Amino acid sequence: ENLYAKIDEDLATNSEASIQDIVSNVLNLNAEGSDDEDDSECEKKSVSTSDVLKAIDDLRCFFTNSEAADEHLKAIRDLEKVVLTTKKGRQSCISEYFK
């Protein structure tokens, strides 16, 4: 046997991580990665105002029969107001000033 080659065989080269350490590291990496994915997804996707208003109408229909309908419908109305305000605030075109 070559004792010289096996001398460090039982030597710990790094600290042993507990299961809790491993789980927390994985959860932290997943949390950091998911933030980046969410940001890039929002940047890539462009949705028209009419599509947003249709989605809001679908939400309204869905929550109409809900137990907490009043609370959800108020939130949907508030969201719809924001979308409609954004729609009205579009950038003007220079040709609009020369009519």
Say what the pTM is.
0.45
Please check whether residues 65 and 92 belong to one and the same domain. yes
87 and 59, same structural domain? yes
87, 47 Cβ separation under 8 angstroms = no
Examine the domain organization and report whether 20 and 53 are in the same domain: no
| 44 in any annotated domain | no
Domain encompassing residue 84: 49-96
Give per-residue pLDDT as tens, 10-61: 776 666 667 777 777 778 877 766 555 555 555 667 778 888 888 988 888 8
Per the structure block, which two tokens stand in for 42? 């929002």
Tell me, yes or no, whether 61 and 91 share the same domain.
yes
SS3 content of the chain, % helix, strand, coil (to 5): 65, 0, 35
- Number of folded domains in the chain? 2
Residue type, 33: G
